[in-house]
Amino acid sequence: MNEYELFYIVSSQYTDAEIEQIKEQVSGEMTTLGGTMVSTKNLGKIRLAYPIKKQHHGSYVLTYFDAPAEVIATLDRKLTLRDDLLRHTLLRRRPGSEKETFELTSYVAPLSEEARRERHKDSAEEGTSRPAPRRRVVEEVAPPTPSSTSSEEKKMSIEELDKKLDELLDADMTKNI
């Protein structure tokens, strides 16, 4: 038997009692396929990073179990067909991972007002004040003075300009040969 972990999200439309029934149903499916349950943890209702099936919150459940490798594809297919699960993932677990602890937090968009409040709250808890805004130092630069040759140059006609351009292009052509 191999060791697996199943992480799934139950739609927020279900009550806590209904979520317990869903957990029992999922565990029952595992045991009927020949698996043995190790532990199940309800991690709570948390805001999703993006809407799934028009749901913005979901109850996260983590289950550790042992099962033969040949039943995993069948279990995955059965979980995919369930309407009460928004998402699920089924992984082989590392030995001892069921004893590890962790904390899930709701997703907060980085540029949202809520994220701004969190950053401000965190800096207040650390005892640091908000850094002073940086000020740009702009040096005053005098406008460029017109060159003396530009006003003294004589104006050329179009024909003279074409002739001068042809001379320059012919000179470049002879240099490259």
Across residues 10-28, what is the average pLDDT? 93
| Residue 63 burial (CB count, 10 A) | 23
**Across residues 51-76, what is the average pLDDT?**
92
d(CA 44, CA 105): 10
> Which of 42-56, 125-139, 161-175 has the largest mean confidence?
42-56
Quick one: pLDDT band at residue 140, thresholds 50, 70, 90? Answer: low
Torsion of CA 9, 15, 21, 26, to 10 degrees: -10
Tell me if 86 sits within 8 A of 52, measured CB to CB: yes
Q: What is the mean pLDDT of the chain?
A: 82
* Higher pLDDT among residues 151 and 10, named by residue: 10
Upper half-sphere CA count for residue 120 (Cβ side, 13 Å):
6
User: Do residues 58 and 52 make contact, with C-beta atoms less than 8 angstroms apart?
Assistant: yes
Domain map of the chain by residue range? 2-99
Q: DSSP states of 39-70 as a string?
A: EEEEEEEEEEEEEETTEEEEEEEEEEEEE-GG
Q: Tell whether domain 2-99 is in CATH 3.40.190.10.
A: no
**Tell me, what's the pLDDT at 148?**
57
> What is the rounded average pLDDT of the residues 158-163?
87
Strands annotated E in 21-158: 36-52, 55-67, 85-92
pLDDT of residue 59: 93
d(CA 72, CA 83): 19
Q: Using CA atoms, how far apart are residues 14 and 11, in angstroms rounded to an integer?
A: 6
Per-residue pLDDT band at 152 (split at 50, 70, 90): low
Asked if residue 144 has pLDDT above 80, the reply is no
Q: What is the pLDDT of residue 169?
A: 83
Residues 66 and 27: their CA atoms lie apart, in Å, by: 11
Give Cβ neighbours of residue 51 (< 8 Å, ≥ 6 apart). none
Q: What is the pLDDT of residue 64?
A: 92
pLDDT band at 23 (very low <50, low <70, confident <90, very high): very high
The end-to-end CA distance of the chain, in Å, is 81
User: Among 108-117, 133-142, 153-162, which stretch is predicted with the lowest mean pLDDT?
Assistant: 133-142
Does residue 25 or residue 126 have the better pLDDT? Answer: 25
64 closest CA partner among 96, 33, 86, 34: 96
